[in-house]
Structure 1
Amino acid sequence: MLERSSSSYRRRWGRSGALGFVLPAALVAVVFAWLVGLVRVPGLESPVPGVHAQIGGVPAARLEAAKASLNAIAVKGRAPKTGYTRAQFGQAWADTDRNGCDTRNDILGRDLADPTFKEGTRNCLVLSGTLHDPYTGKTIEFRRGERSADVQIDHVVPLSDAWQKGAQQWTAEKRLEFANDPANLRSADGQANQDKGDGDLATWLPPNKAFRCEYAVDVVEVKGEYGLWMTQSEHDKAGELLAACRAE
C-alpha cells in the first residue's frame, strides 16, 4: 500500500515537474527572442542596441510618409497574369524624358561611380563605371561588351507584379511611364536581379540586410504613387520591415 502510494506520488510529481520545467523554458525562449529582436512587444523595444537597425534606415520624414502610404494601399489578391508580356509596358528603355538618352543608360549614368561615356553620344552611352551594388553589397566593375549583363537595371516593383496588381487597367501611356520611371529603377547585380524575377516583398528581399529598409520604402513609395495594390502577405511583410527600420 505504501509502495503504491509512493509510486503514485512519483508519477504525479513527474507530470507536474515536467510541466513546471516546460513553462519556464517556453518563457525563457520568448524572452530570448525579444532580447535579440526576433519578436516585438508593443511599446517595449529590445534592449540590445542595433538589433532593428540591421535592416538599415531612412530619414525619419520619409519613413513616416511610407508608413502612411502603406496604410492607404489596398489589399487584394493577385489578378491573373493572363495577357502579360514585356511589350504591354511599351518599348524597352524608351527615352520618355526626351533627353536624347535611353532609360537604361540614364540609370547607369546615375548609379555608377566614375562612369565613362562613348565619345559623340552626348554622355549617353555608358562604357564603364563602378557599381556599389546595394542588393548584395558587392562592388562590380561594369564594362560594356560581353560582361554588360553583370550589371542590370532592376524594376523595384517588377512589371509582372504591377500587371497583376492594377496595371492591367492602365493606359498604354501610363504603363510606359511606369516602366521607365527612375524612381522604380535601380542598377543592380545581374544575378541578384535574375534571382528576384517578379518577386514582391513577401517572396524576395535583397541579400544585403542593411539595405532592406530602404528597399521596402522604395516599393511602398512606388506602389502608393501609382495606386497599385498588395496581397495580404506582401502588405504584412511591408509593415514588418517598416516597423524594423531605423529613423535617421
Structure 2
Amino acid sequence: MASLIASLLLSSLALAAPAPAPAPSPPGIPSASTAQSQLAALTVAPQGSSEGYSRDLFPHWITTSGACNTRETVLNRDGTNLVIGSDCYPDSGSWYSPYDGATWTAASDVDIDHVVPLSNAWKSGASSWTTAKRQDFANDLQNPQLIAVTDNVNQAKGDSGPEEWKPPLQSYHCTYARMWIKVKYVYDLTVTQAEKNALVQMLDTC
C-alpha cells in the first residue's frame, strides 16, 4: 500500500512539473539536404580583410513595428510565458538557449546572436554592400540569422566561424550549421575551406 501511495505521489509530481521551454526556432531553417545543396553552391574563398570594419556600419536593433526594436522582437519571439510591457520589453518570462541548454528568467541574461557575425559577413562580402543592405542583414527576421541565447555563450563565440567555435551542445550542431549555411546562401557570402569543412562535419550529425 505504501509503495502504491509513493508511486501515485511521484506520478502527480511528474504531472505537475513544468515542461521544459521549447527551443527557439528562427524562420527559414532549411532541411539538411537543402543545406547540403546550398553549401555546395557557396563560393569558397580566403577570408577578406577586416580593414574598415565597424559594427556601426551594420545599424542594428532598429524599430521593427510600433515600440518594438529588433532585439525586443526576437526576445518576444523566442521566449515563453512572457509578460510584455507597453514599451515592448518583456517584463517576465523564460528563455531557453539552444546553444548550451540553459534556461533564463531575466531578459538581461540573454543576448540576441547574429548567427553569422557581422564581422564575419564583412570579411565574406558585406564590405562592398550598401549601408541599407547591411542594416537588413543585421536585423533580418525572415531568415535564421537572429536567435536568443545565453549572453556569455554568445560573447565566447564572438565573431568566430564554425571552424573555430560551435555551440557547446553537440545536439544543436546540425541546426546551427543549417542556419549558418542558409544565411550565407541568401546573402551570397563566401566561405573559407576550413569553414566549409566544419559545416560538412556538422551536417553529418543531422
Which interval holds the TM-score relative to the shorter structure? Answer: 0.7 to 0.9
* Cα distance in structure 1, aligned partners of 2:65 and 2:73: 11
Answering whether residue 134 of structure 2 is matched by residue 175 of structure 1, we say yes
Matched-pair contact (CA < 8 Å) for 2:61–2:70: yes
Matched-pair contact (CA < 8 Å) for 2:173–2:203: no
| SS of alignment partner, residue 106 of structure 2 | strand
Answering whether residue 78 of structure 2 is matched by residue 111 of structure 1, we say yes
Answering whether residue 189 of structure 2 is matched by residue 189 of structure 1, we say no
Candidates 225, 230, 247, aligned match of 2:186: 225
TM normalised by structure 2 equals 0.81
Aligned-pair Cα RMSD in Å: 1.3
Structure 1 residues 230 and 99, CA, compared in 2 at 3 Å: closer, same or farther?
farther
Moved over 3 A (4+): 97-100
Matched-pair contact (CA < 8 Å) for 2:95–2:103: yes
Matched-pair contact (CA < 8 Å) for 2:38–2:182: yes
- Between stretches 61-70 and 162-171, larger displacement belongs to 61-70
* Cα distance in structure 2, aligned partners of 1:98 and 1:117: 15
The residue that corresponds to 1:242 in the other structure is 203
Answering whether residue 138 of structure 2 is matched by residue 138 of structure 1, we say no
Structure 1 residues 99 and 230, CA, compared in 2 at 3 Å: closer, same or farther?
farther
Which digits, 9 at most, give the CA deviation of each residue in 1:161-201, with x for residues without a partner? 00000000111111000000122100000110000000111
* Cα distance in structure 2, aligned partners of 1:100 and 1:181: 18
The residue that corresponds to 1:155 in the other structure is 114
Larger radius of gyration, structure 1 or 2? Answer: 1
**Identity over aligned pairs, percent:** 38
The residue that corresponds to 1:165 in the other structure is 124
| SS of alignment partner, residue 244 of structure 1 | coil
Which digits, 9 at most, give the CA deviation of each residue in 1:185-219, with x for residues without a partner? 00000110000000111010000111111001000
Structure 2 residues not aligned, in runs of 5+: 1-29
* Cα distance in structure 1, aligned partners of 2:167 and 2:192: 19
* Cα distance in structure 1, aligned partners of 2:137 and 2:117: 10
Matches within 5 A, 1:40-79: 62-79=31-48
Deviation at 1:244? 2.6
* Cα distance in structure 1, aligned partners of 2:92 and 2:129: 36
The residue that corresponds to 2:61 in the other structure is 93
Q: Identify, as 1 or 2, the structure richer in helix.
A: 1
Q: How many residues align?
A: 175
Structure 1 residues not aligned, in runs of 5+: 1-60
The residue type equivalent to 1:126 in the other structure is P
* Cα distance in structure 1, aligned partners of 2:106 and 2:74: 13
